[in-house]
Amino acid sequence: MNDLILPLYKNGYLSSEANFFFAILLGIVFGFVLERTGFTRAQHIADTFYFKNTAIPKIMGVTVITATTWFIFFAWMGWIDLDALYTPGTYVWPYLFGGLLFGLGMVMAGYCPGTAVAGLGTGKSDALIFVLGLFAGAFLYFLVYPLISGFAGSGNLGVFKLHDLFGGNYYTSYLLTVVLEIGIISFIVFLQKLSSNKNKGEN
Q: What is the pLDDT of residues 176-196, one digit of tens each?
A: 999 999 999 999 888 888 877
Distance, in Å, from the CA atom of 55 to the CA atom of 48, rounded to the nearest integer, reads 8
pLDDT score, position 1 = 44
The upper half-sphere exposure of residue 170, i.e. CA atoms within 13 Å in the direction of its Cβ, equals 15
**Residue 55 · residue 44 · CB < 8 Å:** yes
**Residue 57 · residue 48 · CB < 8 Å:** yes
pTM of the model: 0.78
Distance, in Å, from the CA atom of 128 to the CA atom of 197, rounded to the nearest integer, reads 36
In the chain, the percentage of residues whose pLDDT exceeds 70 is 96
Question: Given a cut of 70, is residue 3 above it in pLDDT?
Answer: no
N-terminal to C-terminal alpha carbon distance within the chain: 64
Question: Given a cut of 90, is residue 103 above it in pLDDT?
Answer: no
pLDDT score, position 130 = 92
Summary mean pLDDT of the chain: 88
52-79 confidence digits (pLDDT tens): 888 888 888 999 999 999 999 999 988 8
- Alpha-helix runs per DSSP H in 5-124: 16-36, 42-49, 55-77, 92-109, 113-121
